[in-house]
Structure 1
């Protein structure tokens, strides 16, 4: 993904340089400082993020915000209408994400449900106005449910025994969750975020077990390292 991001940013910079050069030689007359040009600093990074980042919802919302601001600067919309339209647009985007998640299934929820149906138990970590530190060194790990409400949860799986696909359900509401995973594990994320997000800094490994992570972030965040 880093290579794709570098290529896309390179294309953007080359295009900007070419336009500036053509303007200097009077071959073209493109005003790059049009009304609302600064909104491109919101729109372009979010557009690139759609191709380079695993979680798309935040980038889609960012593009929506940038486009609405640009339309206001171009006097197509008024700033008084901005919040009236922007809030419903964000709600619709989040709603669509939830619908698609429901239609196409959620692997993490399926794994957790299967563990409980078979009489197994998932690890539970909950921090409410406090902190919670979970360490699974030498333990067989199949699934966990982590909740941080005005608090923080740290889940260390780096030395856990992961023999097959497993799952983690997360909920971060005005709180944060840090998940540390082994280097030879895949991580797939499915989330619904409102003014929050999930950051997945892991790499892809072929033919390796996968940790499926799903959950909700509201004014909170989850970081997977």
Structure 2
């Protein structure tokens, strides 16, 4: 299954990065000459930024920021470069972060608006048809989009913010969730699917909680570094549906992932 293999590439990349860091530290302990800048703290930002960009096809705002900050501090503090822009970094970072939130919110609102229009249109047609068959009796609309998403695929980034969503799709196909210095709560109790749905979950200095139906078969293939992955579901083997497999893949770094069911 090509989609599953590509989503697992990020785990391989992260694994190789960890191996490389371990090898460098070991060589340094054995007396081999390792330049000090390679083991400096800005390289942590460079590694996180590079990993995030590669994983997202070099289209990650968070990865670009981490890589840029890492390179800036690396050149300035380790190599003595004086860019003369240190006092501008914080306000510029705030401006860029604000622009990102504005564009993301507009994109999300447009998607939700399109979905609402489609749902309202379908409901109106169904109500008109029902009214005709019942002699004009009016029916109430049981659907609401407040705090909910009807998308079949999720693509949510929570950076220095929190996202709380309820998935209503009956043909859920997986997607991608990224929480960096923020939190994501997703409620799947009203969702449904058949087969295997792969969900990429990446948590960096943040938290994520997934509430799933008790009959889903949730399989976790997540790499966690200085983090916690807690599966708080109550297992009932007799109730697990083998045709509903939610596969979680990704990385949890200095954060937490919690899986629950009711």
The bucket for the TM-score relative to the shorter chain is: 0.3 to 0.5
Look at both structures and tell me which one has the larger radius of gyration over its CA atoms.
2
TM-score (norm 1): 0.46
TM-score (norm 2): 0.41
